[in-house]
Amino acid sequence: MMYPLVREPAAAAAPGRVPVAMTCRVLGPARQSCYRWPASPVTGSELAEAYRANALFDAHRDEPE
Q: What pLDDT sits at residue 46?
A: 84
CA-closest candidate to residue 21, choices 13, 30, 12, 43: 30
pLDDT band at residue 30 using 50, 70 and 90 as cut-offs = confident
Give the count of domains, the chain. 1
- Domain residues for the domain of 41 are 3-59
Domain-embedded: residue 65: no
Please tell me the pTM assigned to this model: 0.42
Give domain status of residue 49, yes or no: yes
Find the helix packing angle between 3-10 and 20-27, rounded to 10°: 150
Residue 51's pLDDT is: 92
- The answer to whether position 8 is within a domain reads yes
Using 50, 70 and 90 to split pLDDT, how confident is the model at 47? confident
Q: Tell whether 35 is covered by a domain.
A: yes
